[in-house]
Homo-oligomer: A and B are copies of this chain.
């Protein structure tokens, strides 16, 4: 019987503990530097992997992270499980109705984001195979197709994590990027299945045919987003009443996610898509309480995601197989193709230029997908180590670039603090409201009175947005909001509730400070800027308490202005 020996078990736990600890530590350090935690997590893998630890203490590295044998297999299984569960959470965060609202922009971004880089990749590989490092024996067409696909795919896990880290995941812009990335990834994996078919790789050649894979994928996606959602909405309330503490929902979510993952792996696309699509069906249900969501989310974001991202750096020695020319060329072609393709697509889809470029850089991240693709190509003999390293570096650099680039492009939208848009007439203390709908109505009336808008229209727009997803930020702050066609500048109203009002925040705290935000429909940057400024101002719970104690409007404004907000134009 195959069996883990005692030394193997010790190594397994030691390796897991080391990777998890290092990834979380560096992740938190990087977060303290205002960068997405995923950088630190990947960096932990590079430090513990062949590049640094393996180069300095090769024996320690070989003992801790063996490349062969049982421990390596267990690690690979755990990492596969980790990335699949991470995609479950990413799926749960997708707001389908927001995606349908962004449908036009998302579909244009998706199509031009895959066609343009694919064409650029295909033609450069066909024209300059030598510079791009095609091995003499490799098939010209297969190599060109592979290279084009590597440029065309996106990295949904990295993109999702970057957007979450930047608090952009639930914004309209985040939804466009995620919707386009989902489409691109599905198409990318189908193209890759075609390439593997052309290569006649033993592994996949015996597997399902390409037509079957495509048909089953589309059918599964369609079913999951219609019947699947319907069934989930019926089952969740039953589970929640039957099993007190949310254990039923937790187990149901994981069980079905694992079964869906098995199904999509079996039909020929990667397991992560099954978990992702089930996550979409699950998370879209208004019946899933934010607290159950938070339990799943915490465990996966703080344990499984760091494990997976660190494992990327563990796989390969970046220094040994580094070919500077190849790296620069691959990186340039990759960035040009994706940023221009997606950026122009977003502009054609009706977004302003600045946001379009942000979409382009967001989609540019290749992360894990690029590396997995490269790994499979390496194993199939299409490329050799130096091209693999170039692809890994390209994937890392594009992933590392996307966060700061988006942050920089979007941050510049805010020149002023959110208090600029307040007026004494729209400051209500105390705000008496038994629930969030009444709180929204009262604040909408105040905002309308201060600006001459129709109170009913304001209330309807904000309520509709609130119904789609609760706007509690946690720490006792809520930000109900809407975009209106009829205004040219942002309008805000502030209410301070004595007992707090439930706005379905992740931390379960009722909101005592409620800021109603109305922004012009055409200027989505204003909304992003104001939301970011409020989130930044009240990231420290002490700030909320200080502001709540303010006696009147001027005191409130002074208290907010004394706190650091979102940095202004760089």
Check A13 against B78 for contact (C-beta < 8 Å). no
- Chain A's interface size range is 35 or more
Check B250 against A298 for contact (C-beta < 8 Å). yes
User: Contact mask A358-388 → B, CB, 8 Å, 1/0?
Assistant: 0000000000000000000001000000000
A78 to B73, CA, bound (A): 11
Check B258 against A17 for contact (C-beta < 8 Å). yes
Interface centre among A7, A10, A266 (most CB of B within 10 A): A10
User: Contact mask A12-33 → B, CB, 8 Å, 1/0?
Assistant: 1110111011001000100000
A303 to B246, CA, bound (A): 12
Query: A301 at the A/B interface (Cβ < 8 Å)?
Result: yes
CB within 8 A of A295: which of B4, B295, B508? B295
**Copies of this chain:** 2
A217 to B388, CA, bound (A): 46
Give the contact stretch, choosing among A64-72, A123-131, A152-160. A64-72
User: Contact mask A244-257 → B, CB, 8 Å, 1/0?
Assistant: 01111011101111
Q: How far is the CB of A137 from chain B (nearest CB, A)?
A: 21
Residues facing B in A230-277 (CB within 8 A) are: 242-243, 245-248, 250-252, 254-259, 261-263, 265-266, 268, 271
Check A255 against B74 for contact (C-beta < 8 Å). no
Residues facing B in A15-70 (CB within 8 A) are: 16-18, 20-21, 24, 28, 67-70
Check A6 against B246 for contact (C-beta < 8 Å). no
Check A254 against B6 for contact (C-beta < 8 Å). no
Interface centre among A271, A298, A508 (most CB of B within 10 A): A298
A245 to B70, CA, bound (A): 36
Query: A207 at the A/B interface (Cβ < 8 Å)?
Result: yes
Interface SS of chain A: helix
Query: A219 at the A/B interface (Cβ < 8 Å)?
Result: no
Check B2 against A251 for contact (C-beta < 8 Å). no
Chain B residues within 8 Å of A263, by CB: 10
Query: A507 at the A/B interface (Cβ < 8 Å)?
Result: yes
Check B4 against A245 for contact (C-beta < 8 Å). no
Query: A100 at the A/B interface (Cβ < 8 Å)?
Result: no
Check B68 against A16 for contact (C-beta < 8 Å). no
Q: How far is the CB of A215 from chain B (nearest CB, A)?
A: 18
Check B259 against A14 for contact (C-beta < 8 Å). yes
Other CB < 8 Å A-B pairs besides A4-B80, A73-B74, A295-B299, 4 of them?
A2-B68, A17-B259, A247-B301, A508-B508
A contacts, CB < 8 Å to B: 1-7, 9-14, 16-18, 20-21, 24, 28, 67-70, 72-74, 76-78, 80-81, 84, 203-204, 207, 242-243, 245-248, 250-252, 254-259, 261-263, 265-266, 268, 271, 294-295, 298-299, 301-303, 306, 379, 506-508
List the 4 closest pairs (A to B, CB-CB), nearest first.
A74-B77, A17-B258, A13-B262, A14-B262
